[in-house]
Amino acid sequence: MSDNQDVNLPSNFLRSIIENDLASGTFAPRGDSARIRTRFPPEPNGYLHFGHAKSICLNFSLAHDYDGACHLRFDDTNPTREEQEYVDAIIDAVHWLGFDWGENLFFASDYFERMYAFAEYLIRAGKAYVDSLSAEEMRAYRGTLTEVGRDSPYRTRSVEENLDLFARMKAGEFADGTHILRAKIDMASPNINLRDPAIYRIRHAHHHRTGDTWCVYPMYTFAHPIEDALENITHSFCTLEFEDQRPFYDWLLEQLRAGGLIPSPAPKQIEFSRLNLTYVVLSKRKLIQLVEEGHAQGWDDPRMPTLVGGRRRGYPPEGFRLFAERIGVSKSDSLIEYSVLEESMREVLNDSAERRVAVLDPLKLVIDNYPEGQLEECTAPNHPLKPELGNRSMPFGRALWIEREDFMEEPVKGFRRLFPGNMVRLRYGYVVKCLGCDKDAEGNVTAVHCEYMPDSRSGTPGADNYKVKGNLHWVSVARGVQAEVRMYDRLFAHPAPGSRREGDAPELERDFLDDLNPDSVSVIRAWLEPSLGEVAPESRFQFERHGYFVADRFDSKAGAPVFNRTVTLKDSWTKGGK
Ligand code: ATP
Ligand code: MG
C-alpha cells in the first residue's frame, strides 16, 4: 500500500491534506501504528443510501491507502429516532461494501459518562450555563443573520447554580424542554452556530443501548467532536453543510484540550461536497416517506437508492467502489448523472457476470425438419473473454422460444432477423431458414416455422459455409425454465425530482412524489435456459442482448427462480428524460 508518491492514486484535496500532515508530523501515531485515523459516523436512524457509500468508500480507502485505521462509529445521541434494527443494517451494509473496521467499532452512547463530565467541566470553567428560556424565547434571543443575538437573562447564573441545575436535569427532576445546557461563547457572533449553542437537553426517552439510564442527552454538535477526539481521529471528514459548525468544533476541543481532558493535537474537521445524483432522492426523510407511503415496497425495494435496495437490484459492491473512485471528491457542489453509477455497475458486471440466455417475450419457433422428440446439447461459453470460466450446455430441439421482436412477417427495411425466406443463426446451434408463421383468428402470430441446415452446427467445419446477418438467442421449449422476471427501471422520471421547471407559475410548489416514474417496474414471465433453474440467490448474470440480472436475494428459490433486472446493456435514458 502506502508509498503514495509512486502508487497510481487519483489525487484530491483530502489526500493533499493528509500528505502534508504526514510530512510535517502533525499527528504522531497514538495507541497503535495507525498513521491516520478516519471514521464513518452514521446515525442509526435509517438505512444507508448511495450518498453514504461515497463517504464510506472515502473514509475507508483513505485510511487504507495511508496505513491508517477507519472506525465505524454510531452517532446514537438521539434516542427517539434510533433503533437496533438500523445498527444491524448499517453494519451489514458497510461489510457488504467490502470494508472492515476490525476492533474499531464504537458507539457515541459509550461516551455518555465522559460527555457528561466534560459538560460539568465547561460549567466549572465558566464556559457553559443552564438556560431556562422556552424554545420560542430562545429563538427570539438568538437573532438572525443580519441581527445580533441578545444574552439570555439566565446567562449570568453562578457556577454553583448551574452545577446544581445540571445535576437535577440528569436526575430527572425536570420535564423535557424546561432547561437546556448551553455553551457560553458569544451572542453577537456573526456565526449563529457560536451564539451559545445548546449542548445538552432533557429527553425522557428510552435509548436502544443505554435503556433508561439517561434522561439528558448531548447534542450532536457537542458529541461529535468529543467522539472524534476520544478515538484519536486525525481527519474528521464531513459534508459541506457542517462548514459553519467547524468554529464550534474547534472551540469545544480547544476548551477540553486546555483542561487536559482530551489528547493533543485535536482532530481536524474537513468538509467535502455530498453526493447528489440525478433521478433519485438522497435524504433519509424522503426515503422514509417513499417507504411509509408505499411508493416503494420497503427499504430494500430494488428501486430504492439505499444500499440494501442496490444490493437487491444486483448492483455489485465493487460497482459502488468504482463509482466512488470515479466521481472523486471536491469542495464544490455537483450533481452526478445517474448514468455514471449505472456505467460503473455495467463495467464490473461485464467483467464478472457469466452469460446466460433468457427469452423475455416468448414466441414459439418450430423447426419442421428437425426430428420430433430429439434433443441435442449445444455448448455455450460462460464468458466470451474468459475461457477459464468454462462452458455450459443448452438443449436444442424441434421447438424453441425466441423473442417475439425477432420475427416480422413483413420486415421493415434493414431487419435482419426472421422473416419468410430469410436465414439466421440460432446462437451456439444451427442456421435456420424461415418458412412462415401461424396466426390466430385475430391475426396474432402464434408460432414461426423454419427448416434447419443439418451441416451448419456452430463449432463444426460446415458452420462457416453459411453467411448470415442475424444471430438469435433461444431457449428449449422442452427443457426451458419459466420464471418471474422483474424489469426494474428508474424510480423517478425526472432528473431532479420535485424541482421547478421552466415556465412554472411562481406560486407552484412541486412535490418530489409527482415525479415518480409510473413505469419503474413491470413483472413478466420469461423462459430461461435450464442452467438458470437452480441458481443461488444473488447470482448475477448477463442475459444476452438484454442486460444484467440477479436472482432475487429473498424470493428466488432453487427450481423457482425469480430475477431482477439490474441494468440494461446500454443507457436508454438520454439527458433530461427517456
Ligand atoms: P441524510 O442527509 O440523508 O439524512 P445524514 O447526513 O443525516 O443523511 P448520517 O447518518 O448522519 O446521515 O450520515 C453519516 C455520514 O454520511 C456523515 O458523515 C455524512 O456526512 C455522510 N453522508 C450523508 N449523506 C451523504 C451524501 N449524500 N454524500 C456523501 N456523504 C454523505
Ligand atoms: Mg446527519
Of the listed 15, 19, 35, 43, which one is catalytic?
43
CATH number assigned to the domain with residue range 125-219, chosen from the 4 options 3.90.800.10, 3.30.365.10, 3.40.50.2000, 3.40.50.300: 3.90.800.10
> Which residue do the cell numbers 438500523 mark?
86
pLDDT value of position 1: 38
pLDDT value of position 208: 94
> In angstroms, what CA-CA distances link 126 with 122, 123, 219, 240?
6, 5, 19, 31
Q: Enumerate the β-bridge partners of residue 105.
A: 72
Specify the domain boundaries for CATH 3.90.800.10 within the chain.
125-219
Per-residue pLDDT band for 33 (boundaries 50, 70, 90) equals confident
Cα of 575 from ligand 1 centre, angstroms: 27
Per-residue pLDDT band for 7 (boundaries 50, 70, 90) equals very low
Among candidate residues 238, 312, 256, the one with its CA nearest the CA of residue 51: 238
Of the listed 274, 286, 404, 545, which one is catalytic?
274
Atom of ligand 1 nearest to the CA of 285: 4
For residues 296-302, average pLDDT: 97
274 catalytic? Reply is yes
Which residues surround ligand 1 with Cβ inside 6 Å?
Answer: 41-43, 51-52, 54-55, 238-239, 274-275, 282-284
| Percent of the chain's residues with pLDDT above 70 | 97
Specify the domain boundaries for CATH 2.40.240.10 within the chain.
358-473
Mean pLDDT score across all residues of the chain = 95
Cell of 359: 427469452
Task: Specify the residue with its C-alpha closest to ligand 1, atom 29.
Answer: 274
Of 52, 237, 307, the one to substitute when testing ligand 1's pocket (max ligand atoms within 8 A of C-beta) is 52
CATH homologous superfamily of 13-111+221-326 equals: HUPs (3.40.50.620)
Residue 577 in this model has a pLDDT that exceeds 50: no
Give just the sign of the alpha carbon dihedral 330, 335, 339, 345.
positive
Specify the domain boundaries for CATH 3.40.50.620 within the chain.
13-111+221-326
The fold of the 358-473 domain, in CATH, is Ribosomal Protein L25; Chain P (2.40.240)
Cα of 493 from ligand 2 centre, angstroms: 27
Tally DSSP H helices, then E strands, for the chain.
12, 27
Of the listed 284, 312, 356, 457, which one is catalytic?
284
Cα of 274 from ligand 1 centre, angstroms: 8
Atom of ligand 1 nearest to the CA of 242: 20
Question: Residue 21 half-sphere exposure, CB side, CA atoms within 13 Å?
Answer: 22
Residue 487 in this model has a pLDDT that exceeds 80: yes
pLDDT value of position 28: 74
One DSSP character per residue, 169-180 reads HHTT-S-TTS-E
Residue 313 in this model has a pLDDT that exceeds 50: yes
Q: Do the beta carbons of residue 402 and residue 362 sit within 8 Å?
A: yes
Cα of 489 from ligand 1 centre, angstroms: 25
Q: What is the pLDDT of residues 338-367, one digit of tens each?
A: 999 999 999 999 999 999 999 999 999 999
Atom of ligand 1 nearest to the CA of 56: 16
CA 59/CA 39 separation, integer angstroms: 6
pLDDT value of position 9: 56
Q: What is the pLDDT of residues 507-558, one digit of tens each?
A: 999 999 999 999 999 999 999 999 999 999 999 999 999 999 999 999 999 9
Cα of 52 from ligand 1 centre, angstroms: 6
355 catalytic? Reply is no
Cell of 70: 477507519
Residue 2 in this model has a pLDDT that exceeds 80: no
Per-residue pLDDT band for 250 (boundaries 50, 70, 90) equals very high
Ligand that lies nearest to the alpha carbon of residue 285, given by its number in the listed order: 1
